[in-house]
């Protein structure tokens, strides 16, 4: 059996399926005769659950740090809570009922209290309690959790969807690949999979329903196909394909220390997009010449409160120190809101989160959060070639407002005699069509632009990139999009500034010749695309690509453009 989806992360993975599926326990209420035995059974399962949580806490501590592991300390305390656990035992005793029913009824009482509280953060704690109690319920029902540790070989994760924090916790040694029902090439799990170099196919629609635990799966992240229980001939063929893919990677690896330079000597930068210091390691290993986009929001996600200045400073400094002094590290200030929520900020739900209170809009309003981050970035700027970049700027006023706050923070640091790089470059993302249209004006007040194509395309085409029904409008090669991109690059150059691109498009093979021809100075992409992009750039001629770009800008459809580049450029250098 096979499923076709979207190739989200390249490579081939084979292994037994591991299903991430919520098992529902159906709780029946019945009378028990031996009450003491029932209380004892309950106590034992609680004890077992606590030791499981302790093991998870230990692992989280090693992988994510002390602070992140503390949430599990709270979960353990819930199972040690005299009022909660005591109330369950009392209910078993006074009503002579089974532990499952007593646990469920007491848990529901507490959940009602938390859910009725006027604070979203507290309402969310109801989910924690549900999570902890369902662990005990499952143990009472005799369901034992399979852990990734129980497998001798890496597994293929199969899930409806993977949240960013799920993906961040994936252990690359234990997970060969993953396959999900929903998602697209630009969904966060796909982006994370690429940066972690785990082969992945997403948007498979109903794979979770069609696979059972331990079914043998092949995930073809190159073609976007997943096969269940393939024949031995197929496994052999795929083993060969996997080897060929790895050989190609080895060939590309030779370009790691080489410059990204065209045949006629035009040099550009090929850098990587990252979410955390771990990704930066992968970027270095893949020969990135720096970081073109450090998505700082991952420092803020999957936790219970804001990261401190010190914590952020350490993360930025750590990334800067992984690269040579001259390599650029572009740090994007907080881009939260939209599809990336922070429960602890208690933001109201919006009708159109992508058009709402997010990114720079939130930062200009919550200057406390913004200033803490700016201080951390400035302080880290003495450790490398750090540059600051604002997301989602829509107008000149917003840019000036952000720069005003930056100036205030600099002044504070001066007063405290805290060193920072006074020459730190400050740029902005171009991801709103309004910003692209006034790029000539904006270029006078920034040091650089970075074009964020994922959002620029969705806003230009007015098509939600997460909505599968309008995904046909997500067209990087649409003439309207290409013209906007060209406008932005030319506007930057006219003012003597540089222009980069940090969207998925910068790493897309047919886009590279066009962007090179338009004069793009910096290409930022998933680490896994860096060497492929460099290899292509080294085969191209910049003067010729200028003509290609000019020609393409006159074409009428995305199909025509892609076909032209494939036939006239890519075929010829094969």
The catalytic residue positions are: 188, 502
Q: Is the Cβ–Cβ distance between 424 and 386 less than 8 Å?
A: yes
User: Residues 3, 18, 42, 110: which binds another protein (CB under 8 A)?
Assistant: 110
308 touches another protein (CB under 8 A): yes
SS3 assignment, position 462: coil
The pattern of x and - marking residues 278 through 307 that bind another protein according to CB under 8 A reads --------------------------xxx-
Quote the tokens at residue 231. 């024949």
For position 383 contacting another protein by CB under 8 A, the verdict is no
CA-to-CA distance for 459 and 143, rounded, in angstroms?
47
Is the Cβ of residue 78 or residue 562 nearer to another protein in the bound state?
78
Does residue number 342 form part of the binding site for another protein (CB under 8 A)? no
* Residue where the block lists tokens 């309207």: 480
Binding of residue 141 to another protein (CB under 8 A): no
How far, in Å, CA of 488 to CA of 504, rounded? Answer: 17
Token digits of residue 155: 């597994």
Cβ neighbours of residue 59 closer than 8 Å, sequence gap 6 or more: none
Measured CA to CA, the distance from residue 133 to residue 361 in angstroms comes to: 39
Tell me the window of 115-123, 178-186, 227-235, 419-427 that interacts with another protein (CB under 8 A).
115-123
Q: How far is the CB of 304 from another protein (least distance, A)?
A: 5
Q: By CB under 8 A, is residue 237 in contact with another protein?
A: no
Q: How far is the CB of 125 from another protein (least distance, A)?
A: 6
Determine the Cα–Cα distance for residues 390 and 362; give it in Å rounded to an integer: 12
454 marked among binding-site residues? yes
What SS3 string covers 353-421? Answer: HHHCCCHHHHHHHCHHHHHHHHHHHHHHHHHCEEEEEECCCCCHHHHHHHHHHHHHHHHHHHHCCCCCC
22 near another protein, rule: CB under 8 A: no
What distance in Å separates the CA atoms of residue 29 and residue 268, rounded to the nearest whole number?
Answer: 69
Nearest approach, Cβ of 86 to another protein (angstroms)?
9
Residue 295, annotated ligand binder?
A: yes
**Does residue 127 touch another protein according to CB under 8 A?**
no
Q: Is 71 in the site for another protein (CB under 8 A)?
A: yes
Give 127 or 355: the residue with its C-beta nearer to another protein. Answer: 127
Does 348 help bind another protein (rule: CB under 8 A)?
no
Shorter beta-carbon distance to another protein: residue 369 or 531: 369
Asked if 370 interacts with another protein (CB under 8 A), we say no
10 Å Cβ neighbour count for 454? 18
Q: Is 324 in the site for another protein (CB under 8 A)?
A: no
How many residues lie near another protein (CB under 8 A)? 27
Two structure tokens written together for 172: 């690359």
Of the two residues 85 and 482, which places its CB atom closer to another protein in the complex? 85
Site mask, another protein, residues 74-103, x = CB under 8 A?
Answer: x--xx-xxxxx-------------------
171-200 in b/e form (b: 16+ CB < 10 A) is eeebbbbbbbbbbbbbbbbbbbbbbbbbbb
Binds another protein (CB under 8 A): choice among 117, 247, 285, 355: 117
Which of 1, 113, 247, 543 touches another protein by CB under 8 A? 113
Measured from the CB atom, is 204 or 306 closer to another protein?
A: 306
**CA–CA separation, 495 vs 441, rounded Å?**
10
Q: Is 214 in the site for another protein (CB under 8 A)?
A: no
Per-residue b/e over 73-90, b at no fewer than 16 CB within 10 Å?
eebbebbeeeebbebbbe
Q: What DSSP line would sit under 422-447, residue for residue?
A: TT--EEEEE-SHHHHHTHHHHGGG-S
Would you count residue 357 as binding another protein (CB under 8 A)? no
Q: Is 465 annotated as a binding residue?
A: yes
Q: Which is nearer to another protein, 171 or 310 (CB)?
A: 310
- Residue closest to 564 by CA, chosen among 550, 548, 544, 542: 548
Interface with another protein by CB under 8 A: which residues?
70-71, 73-74, 77-78, 80-84, 110, 113-114, 117-119, 121-122, 125, 128-129, 304-306, 308, 344
């Amino acid at each position: 059996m096979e499923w076709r989806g979207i190739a989200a992360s390249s490579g081939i993975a084979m292994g037994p399926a591991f299903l991430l599926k919520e098992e529902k326990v159906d709780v029946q209420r019945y009378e028990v005769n031996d009450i003491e035995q029932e209380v004892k059974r309950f106590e034992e399962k609680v004890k077992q659950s606590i030791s499981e949580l302790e093991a998870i806490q230990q692992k989280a501590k090693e992988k994510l740090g002390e602070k992140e592991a503390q949430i599990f300390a709270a979960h353990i305390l819930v199972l040690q809570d005299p009022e909660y656990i005591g109330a369950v035992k009392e209910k078993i005793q006074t009503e002579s009922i089974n532990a499952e029913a007593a646990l469920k009824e007491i848990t529901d009482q507490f959940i009602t209290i938390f859910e009725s509280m006027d604070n979203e953060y507290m309402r969310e704690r109801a989910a924690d309690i549900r999570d902890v109690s369902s662990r005990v319920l499952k143990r009472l029902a005799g369901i034992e959790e399979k852990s990734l540790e129980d497998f001798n070989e890496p597994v293929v994760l199969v899930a409806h969807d993977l949240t960013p924090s799920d993906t961040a916790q994936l252990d690359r040694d234990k997970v060969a690949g993953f396959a999900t029902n929903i998602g697209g090439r630009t969904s966060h799990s796909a982006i994370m999979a690429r940066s972690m170099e785990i082969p992945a196919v997403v948007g498979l629609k109903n794979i979770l329903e069609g696979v059972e635990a331990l079914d043998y799966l092949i995930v073809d992240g190159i073609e976007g196909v997943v096969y269940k229980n393939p024949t031995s001939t197929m496994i052999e063929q795929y083993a060969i394909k996997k080897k060929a893919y790895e050989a190609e990677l080895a060939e590309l690896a030779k370009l790691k220390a080489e410059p990204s330079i065209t045949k006629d000597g035009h040099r550009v930068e090929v850098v990587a997009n990252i979410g955390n210091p771990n990704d930066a390691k992968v970027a270095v290993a893949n020969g990135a010449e720096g970081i073109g986009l450090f998505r700082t929001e991952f420092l803020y996600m999957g936790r219970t409160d804001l990261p401190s200045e010190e914590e952020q400073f350490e993360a930025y400094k750590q990334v800067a120190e992984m690269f040579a002094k001259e390599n650029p590290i572009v740090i994007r200030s907080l881009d939260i809101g939209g599809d990336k929520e922070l429960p602890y900020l208690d933001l109201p739900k919006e009708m159109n989160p992508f058009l709402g209170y997010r990114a720079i809009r939130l930062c200009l309003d919550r200057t406390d959060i913004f200033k803490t981050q700016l201080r951390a970035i400035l302080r880290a700027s003495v450790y490398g070639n750090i540059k600051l970049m604002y997301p989602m700027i829509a107008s000149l006023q917003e840019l000036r407002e952000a720069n005003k706050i930056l100036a205030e923070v600099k002044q504070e640091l001066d007063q405290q005699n805290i060193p920072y790089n006074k020459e730190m470059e400050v740029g902005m993302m171009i991801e709103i069509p309004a910003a692209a249209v006034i790029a000539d004006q904006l270029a006078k007040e920034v040091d650089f632009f970075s074009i964020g194509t994922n959002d620029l395309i969705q806003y230009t085409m007015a098509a939600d990139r997460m909505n599968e029904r309008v995904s046909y409008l997500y067209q990087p090669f649409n003439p309207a999009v290409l013209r906007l991109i060209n406008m932005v690059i030319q506007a930057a150059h006219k003012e003597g500034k540089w222009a980069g691109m940090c969207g998925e498009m910068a790493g897309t093979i047919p886009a590279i010749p066009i962007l090179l021809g338009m004069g793009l100075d910096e290409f930022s992409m998933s680490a896994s695309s860096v060497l492929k992009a460099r290899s292509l750039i080294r085969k191209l001629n910049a003067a010729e690509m200028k003509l290609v770009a000019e020609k393409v800008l006159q074409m009428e459809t995305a199909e025509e453009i892609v076909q032209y580049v494939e036939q006239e450029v890519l075929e010829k250098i094969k």
